[in-house]
Structures are given as C-alpha cells and as structure tokens.
Amino acid sequence: MILTVTPNAALDVTYTVDSLVPDEVHRVAQVRQRAGGKGINVARVLHALGGDTRALALAGGATGNAVARELATSGVPAELVPIAGETRRTTAVLALADRSVTLLNEPGPEVTAGEWAALLAAASRHRPEVLVCSGSLPPGAPPDGYAQLAATGAQTVLDTSGDALLAGLAGRPAVVKPNVSELIEVTGIRDVESAAAELRRAGAGAVVVSLGPDGLLAVTGSGTWHAAPSAALSGNATGAGDAAVAGIALGMSWREPWPQLLRRAVALSGAAVLGPLAGDLDLGHYHREHDRVAVRARGT
C-alpha cells in the first residue's frame, strides 16, 4: 500500500476566467472545489490508476469538513486526523486566453504538538510499503517533521522545498523530488546534476528533478537518466509534479528499474497537464505516451 501524507491539506478552489488583467473586475465562468494539497493529489492519481493507496492528512474546521466530504464523494480512500485550526484554502485562477494559472496559497493553520503526534501515530499504524510525504509543513509542525515521518520505516518519497526538504534528508528518504528552482535554492549549486549529487551526499537515496516541459532527471546510486516527453503540452501544469510523484511511488512499489519508473512518471505528468484540475488525468494520453517517453542514460 502507498500512503500519502499531507500535513498542510487544503480545499482547492479553481476560478476560470477569460483573461486575468491587473486592477480589473473579472467575471468568473466556472468555480470548482475539491480536496487538495500535494499528497492528496498524489493519492487521487494513484486511485485513478487502480493503485492501493490511502491519503492521510490533517484537517479541521468547516473547510476540513468540506475536504472530508469531497474525498468521500470522489472515492479516494482517506484518513483525516482532526485539528483545532481551520484547514486552509488555495485559489487557482485559470485564464483561458493564454492558459496561464495564477496560484494563491494560504499558509495553513497552527498545528499543536499533540496533533502532530497523532499524525505520526496514524502513519506508523498503516505500515505502508511506500510513504509519500508531500507539500509544505504547516505552522507549528516540527522543522524535521518529514524526517520523523520517514522514521516509520517505509521507503519514503519526499516532495517538498526549502528548510523542510533539508531537514527531511535526516530521515534518509529513498527519493526526493525537487524542481530545478527548489534544488538550486537548497544547495546553492546551479548545475543540476551536481546539485542533485549534493542532496544524495546529504541523505537522499536518489534525486529526481522536475525539468518542466523537458521531463525528469534522475540521479541515483546506480546511474543517471533523463526522461523526456515525446512532445510539448499546453494545459494546467499545477498537478504535473504530483502525478510524477505518483508514478515514482507506483514504480517503487512494483520494484521497477529506473528507466521504466521514469517513463511512467513522465507519461503521468503529461496526462496531468491535460487534466482540468490537479489530481485529474487524461488516461488516454497516459497510455499512448508511456512507450513514447525517451529515457537515456547520462554519461554513457
């Protein structure tokens, strides 16, 4: 079973407008709401693929209740650990004219030591084969919160940034998945392969770097690979990284070799770009693209 942990869950609200112009009044063509946060998005993708998964998250207040209702309606298996604070909302504005997406992310509620301990206990109780730790840590969470979760013993995929990423390396995650800017931020090294190697020296088993439309670069103990999509895509890229993480976690649970795992992750990432909301997939694209993804070993 793949357990995803989202300490800073959210109710994702997406507004669709014709165009987004500063200092103007906009008429919203469509409003959509769903449970979100990076780990929940990963679980949604895995559920759509028929994977054995469960989403674990902290949730509280009326917004937390809305998150719980949406997860129940969508059928994504979930356990929500209650907190006293109000779950945050995130707002995405999708402008149809240029397909741009503007994100407004609230910081999240203050989490108490007891609430964090309850999250750790729940993660340990599930005994997953693969543990996915995703997104920001909410205020009040321990700085090394992801290292504490990794200590539950499962193979861990860590997808976060900044101090949470650096502190999480103490848990020796099997994979960390930063994008290029996140990688440069935490290492100060602009060469992607050198920066990824630095994270491996600091505790990561492997580093898979999101290169945006250029795919993924994996720096591992057994080699370095670049996986590229067959063609550039336009759409909503907000859930593409989460879909890639779902592919990585699924490949780990199936013990796939790195080239196969990366092919799946890149195909899922593209399928997410074509989905309307984070966590959605164009399954037809995924199945067509899977065998078209080019995976090449670096340094050979």
pTM: 0.93
In a domain, 75, yes or no: yes
pLDDT digits (tens, 9 = 90+) for 102-150: 989 899 999 999 999 999 999 999 999 999 999 999 999 999 999 999 9
Number of folded domains in the chain?
1
* pLDDT given at position 154: 86
Q: Work out whether the CA dihedral 9, 240, 48, 263 comes out positive or negative.
A: negative
In a domain, 19, yes or no: no
SS3 of 199, please?
helix
In a domain, 25, yes or no: no
242 catalytic per annotation: yes
In a domain, 27, yes or no: no
pLDDT digits (tens, 9 = 90+) for 24-73: 999 999 999 999 999 999 999 999 999 999 999 999 999 999 999 999 99
C-alpha 50/C-alpha 246 separation (Å) is 12
Residue 10, beta-bridge partner list: 36, 88
> For 35, phi and psi rounded to 5 degrees?
-65, 135
pLDDT digits (tens, 9 = 90+) for 182-217: 999 999 999 999 999 999 999 999 999 999 999 999
Helices within the chain (DSSP H only): 38-48, 61-74, 113-126, 145-150, 162-168, 180-187, 192-201, 240-253, 258-273, 283-289
Residue range(s) defining the domain that contains residue 287: 2-7+37-86+110-297
**Cβ density class 203-242: b for 16+ within 10 Å, e for less:** bbebbbbbeeeebbbbbbeeebbbbbbeeebebbbbbbbb
**Identified catalytic residue from 242, 280, 282, 291:** 242
In a domain, 13, yes or no: no
In a domain, 78, yes or no: yes
CATH number at residue 204: 3.40.1190.20
Q: Work out whether the CA dihedral 4, 8, 14, 19 comes out positive or negative.
A: negative
